Amino acid sequence: MSGHSPRTCLGAVRAYPTWLQDAPLNDATARDWAVRDYRLYLVTVARTCLRRQHGRLTRRPVRGWRSGRRGSTMGACAVPACGGETPGLAGACDRVKGWPPEDPFLVAAYVFGDVLQGADPLDNVQVAAAVNLPPEEVPRGSSPHGTGWLADQLRLSKGGFEYWWRSHLDPACNHYIRGPVRFWSHDGPDEAVLSALAERRFADLPRLEPSPARAREQLAGDLDAALRHLREVRDSYWEHDWPNEHRGPGRHPEHELWEAVEGYLDILDATGPPSPGPGAGEPGGTTSAPGC
């Protein structure tokens, strides 16, 4: 049914259980399982259709710093057209920096990727947020508990951003997040960075880069951690309480399994022959700092 409209798919969801009552499934348990499994399949297909149609309606190129869907910006004045009154991502980080009061969740925020090369138009702005969790709870490509709330508060989930979570105890950069620039910390927005971005002075940006030896060491450690996490998810997947513990708004246990597989394979692919990074040959300062 993947080629049908969401209305058709949802109609089939409602009609199938009624039809099944007259179908040749005499065993009540077998019938209940069939209803549940097929209903789940149809709902999944319907949601996929809805997401695709919504994406077609809302997707458009991102000009400058402005998000293609919601007009989000990196800083209050990151785009001259935005005006000083427009609250940007740096301002949003400032608003949540004290929550929860006893142990703030958000620690730092970085920008990386094509936006640092002056690409225009952009498909999205790539950002990484360091959160107050240990590394083992923030494996590659995961969505740890609490990050859904944070993504909503920062409006990252509204579109126009590609965002990644990092443990504040891990380096900000990795094989994918190359040459990130920190634009916000608990001291507040980095005005020098935001000014350089707004004025397109990319050579003045303090990019964080590890040494080649440190990058290889980190990649090996990330691969071990990703494999360990994948095995943990596999071993826990069929436990009685595990699905409920990993279910929430827009989240299902299958997301955890998919992210674990995708995270491991992504790092495994990165251990192949080296390729030049997105910042190779580009101007800009490189800083070997504790952040990497």
Per-residue pLDDT tens digits for 159-211: 889 999 999 999 999 999 999 999 999 999 999 999 999 899 999 999 999 99
Which residues in the chain come in under a pLDDT of 50?
A: 2, 19, 24, 49-87, 280-283
Distance CA 74, CA 138 (A): 24
Give residue 245's pLDDT: 83
Q: What is the Cα 202 distance to its own chain's centre?
A: 25
Residues 124 and 50 in one domain: no
Residues 93 and 42 in one domain: no
Residues 252 and 189 in one domain: yes
Strand partners of residue 286: 207
Q: What is the total count of domains within the chain?
A: 2
Distance CA 276, CA 177 (A): 13
Would 72 be classed as within a structural domain? Answer: no
Cβ atoms of residues 182 and 127 within 8 Å: no
Cis peptide before 121 (omega within 30 of 0): yes
Would 188 be classed as within a structural domain? Answer: yes
Q: Which domain holds residue 40?
A: 6-58
Give residue 17's pLDDT: 54
Give residue 90's pLDDT: 93
Residues 201 and 140 in one domain: yes
Would 67 be classed as within a structural domain? Answer: no
Residues 95 and 221 in one domain: yes
Residues 94 and 130 in one domain: yes
Would 275 be classed as within a structural domain? Answer: yes
Residues 135 and 276 in one domain: yes
Q: What is the b/e burial string over 84-120, where b = at least 16 CB atoms within 10 angstroms of the residue's CB?
A: eebebbbbbbbeebeeeeeeebbbbbbbbbebbeeee
Residues 157 and 13 in one domain: no
Give residue 22's pLDDT: 53
Residues 26 and 87 in one domain: no
